[in-house]
Amino acid sequence: MPFSSFYDQIESNKRKTYLLFFVFFLVLVSLGFFIGVYLGSVEFGIEITFIFGIFYSLLVYFQGASMLLSLTGAQPATDRKYVFYVDTVEGLAIAAGIPAPKAYVIQDPAPNAFATGRDPKNSYVAVTTGLLDKMSRQELEGVVAHEISHIQNYDIRVSLYAVIMVGLIGIISNIFLRSFLYSGRGSNNRKGEGGGGGFLLIIGIIFMILAPIIAQLIRLAISRQREFLADANGARLTRYPEGLASALEKIGKDPTQLQRADDTTAQLYIASPLKGKMLSGLLSTHPPIEERVKRLRSM
């Protein structure tokens, strides 16, 4: 893999981070405006929304990775039976020239893994017990190298913000839905407000329709190309592409469903955990495993 492509991806991920913050800002302004219309003061609505936004941003920046680890059920890999896994994480981090991420384990029989954090100094690698049980040492090294690559090129930062953005959109949709329900119930007592309630209802319906689309676009903003790049760089770190190729084949063929898989965190994993979902292939943030394996074996 050319180093120019690797460093170009780092710069691309930084630009995507700024873009996500801009989208975050626009969503906050829109939310504040409509809350302000509902409360009768646009300025007040925007002010309280920005207070929430600042608090939310700080919480995400400092606690976002911990929240995701908790959401997936990941725990520190402190048991002695995980020594090889922990040593693998530390060794590949040294090879990549980054601080060693904290190693975590998810008690789940489905083989999968992900990395998260805000930068290489504050990063985590988590694998399922299913992955540890079903992979050979070379395959485990390939998977860990792939996740180390995501940390090295700052994919984890973009993914973290994207996941939180999807969650924020869900919160906003819920706020509007509750507002509409309350407005509808109390419409007979608010005749003096003109068509404000009806206006909010129309805008809310439009927003509720657009919210899932916006969430999906944010997921797709995390380009599928980053998976190919992490595969290639992971193979470079281990100098054994077959290890990762074989691991991906096993993950793809394994029928076990990840217990805590959902649309919000799906993009974090090395392979999509949403097996059997109708749109998981069409709108997946991951490229087909067959194509990834083909590229690895052609290296």
Q: β-strand 102-106 against 113-119: which pairing, if any?
A: unpaired
Range picked from 32-41, 90-99, 203-212 for highest mean pLDDT: 90-99
- What confidence category does residue 202 fall into, taking pLDDT thresholds of 50, 70 and 90? confident
Q: Give the count of alpha carbons within 13 A of 229, CB side only.
A: 23
Q: Which residue has the higher pLDDT, 206 or 134?
A: 134
Q: Is residue 197 predicted with pLDDT exceeding 60?
A: no
Q: Which of 90, 147, 193, 249 is the catalytic position?
A: 147
> What's the pLDDT at 186?
45
Distance between terminal CA atoms of the chain? 9
> What's the pLDDT at 278?
45
Q: Is residue 128 predicted with pLDDT exceeding 70?
A: yes
290 is catalytic: no
> What's the pLDDT at 188?
47
> What does the pLDDT average to over 237-258?
96
> What does the pLDDT average to over 77-87?
97
For residue 279, how far is the Cα from the chain centroid?
18
Q: Is residue 93 predicted with pLDDT exceeding 80?
A: yes
Among residues of the chain, what percentage have pLDDT more than 70?
Answer: 76
Q: Which residue has the higher pLDDT, 214 or 72?
A: 72
Three-state DSSP at 184 gives: helix
> What does the pLDDT average to over 226-242?
91
Q: What is the mean pLDDT of the chain?
A: 82
pLDDT in tens, 145-195: 999 999 998 889 888 777 777 776 677 667 766 766 776 544 444 444 555
Taking the domains of the chain in order of start, what are their residue ranges?
3-68+157-221, 71-155+225-297
Query: In b/e form, how buried is each residue of 124-146, taking b as 16+ CB within 10 angstroms?
Result: bbbbbbbbbebbeeebbbbbbbb
Instruction: Write down the residue that tokens 């898989």 correspond to.
Output: 261
> What's the pLDDT at 6?
55
Please name the fold of domain 71-155+225-297: Zincin-like (3.30.2010)
pTM: 0.80
Q: Which residue has the higher pLDDT, 128 or 12?
A: 128
